[in-house]
């Protein structure tokens, strides 16, 4: 058995620069990853199998198609490997929530299959598959802090300190396509210069206004996060609806999580740290 983590992705900053002729958007973003997320388990077997377990399995239970199985099939097509596999996705991240759960799962599947097939993780063909699967999958395949440009697939590494972070989702699904469609098409400029924290602090998320218009619950999440003691930065991630707060001290992060869980027990909260 191979067990591969699929950590949550955050966009500490997300600048939308233009709509492209191919229907995608030209982006500049700061990708970071946290210590927690989903898990993909692969076991060689006599026939293919795919199962989803975990607290958010129900959000994917009806899918006849999944990024995990697409990643499996794309890997096989590229590398000519077709041995039967049993795949179990342990789903702990909310679905369609702006933290790259599906992309992280696909990337973890590619890494696990590469290990099983003795393919180097820096093999360029893996990144080619990742880019075809989705805009966030290349960054998730790399699994470390990156500046992303283009659709997000042109990556440059950058370091970030392991700050405590609190993720909060109000349980509202937001369509990525609808959020991008609501972007006002105003280019507000490039990512700022500096280290990762400077970029985050001086950056923005251009998808936050249209997401908040579609899902006003995001307003309530951010209102609680920004007033937490010791918070350094509170912002929405990706196309929403998950928001995050960065802290200097784990004690302040834990206190904020306790307060939010007491006030809004129906929300999803994850105390973790940047990886």
Catalytic residues: 9, 136
Q: Are 11 and 31 in contact (CB under 8 A)?
A: yes
Cis check: omega of the bond before 259, within 30 degrees of 0: no
Angle at which helix 67-79 crosses helix 101-116, to 10 degrees, equals 30
Beta bridge partners of 10: 32
Which distant-in-sequence residues (6+ apart) come within 8 Å of 229 by Cβ? Answer: 252, 255, 256
What is the rounded CA–CA span in Å between residue 266 and residue 275? 27
DSSP H helical ranges for the chain: 67-79, 101-116, 124-133, 137-142, 176-181, 196-202, 208-214, 217-226, 250-263
């Amino acid at each position: 058995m191979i067990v591969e983590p699929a950590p949550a992705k955050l966009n500490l900053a997300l600048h939308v620069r233009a709509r492209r002729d191919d229907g995608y958007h030209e982006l500049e973003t700061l990708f970071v990853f946290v210590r927690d997320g989903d898990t993909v388990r692969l076991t060689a077997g006599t026939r293919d199998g795919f199962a989803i377990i975990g607290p958010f399995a129900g959000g994917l239970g009806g899918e006849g198609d999944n990024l995990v199985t697409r990643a499996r099939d794309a890997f096989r097509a590229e590398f000519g490997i077709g041995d039967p596999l049993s795949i179990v996705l342990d789903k702990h991240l909310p679905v369609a929530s702006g933290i790259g759960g599906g992309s992280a799962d696909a990337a973890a599947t590619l890494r696990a299959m590469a290990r099983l097939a003795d393919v180097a993780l820096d093999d360029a063909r893996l990144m080619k598959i990742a880019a075809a699967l989705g805009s966030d999958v290349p960054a998730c395949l790399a699994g470390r802090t990156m500046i992303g440009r283009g659709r997000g697939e042109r990556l440059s590494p950058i370091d970030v300190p392991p700050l405590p972070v609190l993720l909060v989702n109000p349980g509202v699904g937001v369509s990525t396509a609808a959020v991008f469609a609501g972007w006002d098409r105003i280019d507000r400029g490039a990512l700022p210069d500096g280290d990762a924290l400077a970029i985050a602090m001086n950056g923005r998320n251009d998808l936050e206004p249209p997401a908040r218009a579609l899902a006003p619950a995001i307003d309530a999440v951010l209102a609680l996060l920004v007033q937490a003691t010791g918070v350094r930065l509170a912002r929405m991630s990706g196309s929403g609806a998950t928001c995050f707060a960065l802290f200097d001290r784990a004690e302040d992060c834990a206190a904020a999580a306790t307060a939010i869980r007491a006030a809004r027990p129906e929300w999803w909260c994850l105390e973790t740290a940047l990886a």
